[in-house]
Structure 1
Amino acid sequence: MTNVRSTRSDALRNRDAILDAAVGCLTDDPGASMADVAKATGLTRATVYAHFPSREQLLEAVLVRTIDRSEAELAELDLEGDAVAALDRLVRRSWRIVDSFHRLLGAAEEALSNERIMAHHAEPMARVQALIERGQREGSMRRDLDAEWLTSCFSALLHAAAAELRAGRLAEADADRVVATTVRSLLTARAA
């Protein structure tokens, strides 16, 4: 029984090491290969492939892990009080998370379908939608558009900003302000 537990522990440690190395490699170079990840872990390519049979599966596992860790961080964010002020806190914190992983996100966007990427965003987007719905009930956020649509726009804006940052069309120093201002103006605009 001890050997089985030891083998499972080794496998879990290897899997974690592979995911940690993949985050580092893909953040530095979105085109990093499975061989690059194996080299960074000190494990053989065969071991990496035993855990993740394809680069696509590795990218998806990295994406899921990153979203899960980000979700744990966002769950601690205070969204009480004024809905617009809470929105600003959520946008700025969400943006910092997206910003820190924008190159990793770029690698995932190249390898995975938008549907697969968005399927992993359900919990974070539920938080955004709940805040938008609260703001709509309180009258501080626009009611002429559906909260689900506005939630999709929120996500799209953060991802578009990450793409603009990667392309060099959005300056790192301006990104936080630009993203927060754009999201706030979209969600609080009054119908004409």
Structure 2
Amino acid sequence: MSREGRRRADAERNIEAILDAALECFSEQPDASMTSIAQAAGVSRVTLYTHFPSREDLLGQVLDRAVSNAAVVLDAEALDEGTAVEALSRLIRSAWHILAGYRNLMTAASAVLSPRQVRGYHKVVLQRVERLIARGRDEGSFRTDLPQPWLVTVFYSLIHVAADEVGAGRLKQRDAADVLEATVLGALMSPATIGR
């Protein structure tokens, strides 16, 4: 391997180590310092800043990684199987499990990124929600009296509010998935299907 090839391989290893360490550090402590992330990654601060010039840049890359990991987990849920209501119930529980693990990461992101930027990182997950809601509307299970983008926003907002409530101690972690599922389905279900 050429010297340039070795440098590129070293840089790639450093980037991976930094992203892995940052994901772990931010997930444990939302205000983790760049110094502590560099130490956890086994690189110098200079190396960290060479690849990620700001905390915002690093958080953006970490969010990309977290969302990609989430997409893999959600894809394993076979969201095309069963009714849209059944699939959405599975999605809510999986999404909650993922978000619960990344709650502090979202706190860190919210401190430096705008709400619009944070939501943008969720696009890959929200596309799955949008498809499920569209299928549920076609099946007659989900509301058609409200705009579909609003229903997606309801899902997104409720799952993040649940994380905030758990973090504030107003909702028990062990109850959150059940509460979230009941609330989201209650908000999305067509009035004609409630009580069937």
Answer whether TM exceeds 0.5 for this pair. yes
Deviation at 1:76, TM superposition (A): 2.4
Q: Does the aligned pair in 2 maintain the 1:161–1:170 contact within 8 Å? A: yes
Residue in 2 that maps onto 1:68: 68
Residue in 2 that maps onto 1:142: 143
Distance in 2 of aligned mates of 1:100 and 1:116? 20
Residue in 1 that maps onto 2:155: 154
Distance in 1 of aligned mates of 2:5 and 2:156? 41
Deviation at 1:9, TM superposition (A): 1.1
Distance in 1 of aligned mates of 2:171 and 2:155? 17
Deviation at 1:55, TM superposition (A): 0.9
Write the letter of the residue equivalent to 2:89: D
Distance in 2 of aligned mates of 1:173 and 1:94? 15
Residue in 2 that maps onto 1:5: 5
Residue in 1 that maps onto 2:133: 132
Q: Does the aligned pair in 2 maintain the 1:23–1:104 contact within 8 Å? A: yes
Residue in 1 that maps onto 2:90: 89
Deviation at 1:16, TM superposition (A): 0.8
Deviation at 1:189, TM superposition (A): 4.5
Q: Which runs of 4+ in 1 moved over 6 A?
A: none
Deviation at 1:73, TM superposition (A): 1.8
CA RMSD of aligned residues (A): 1.3
Distance in 2 of aligned mates of 1:150 and 1:47? 43
Distance in 1 of aligned mates of 2:3 and 2:76? 39
Q: 3-state DSSP class of the match of 1:16? A: helix
Kindly report which structure 2 residues correspond to 1:48-59, keeping only aligned pairs within 5 A, or say none: 48-59=48-59
Q: Does the aligned pair in 2 maintain the 1:161–1:179 contact within 8 Å? A: yes
Give unpaired runs (5+ residues) of structure 2. Answer: none
Residue in 2 that maps onto 1:26: 26
Write the letter of the residue equivalent to 2:121: H
Q: 3-state DSSP class of the match of 2:171? A: coil
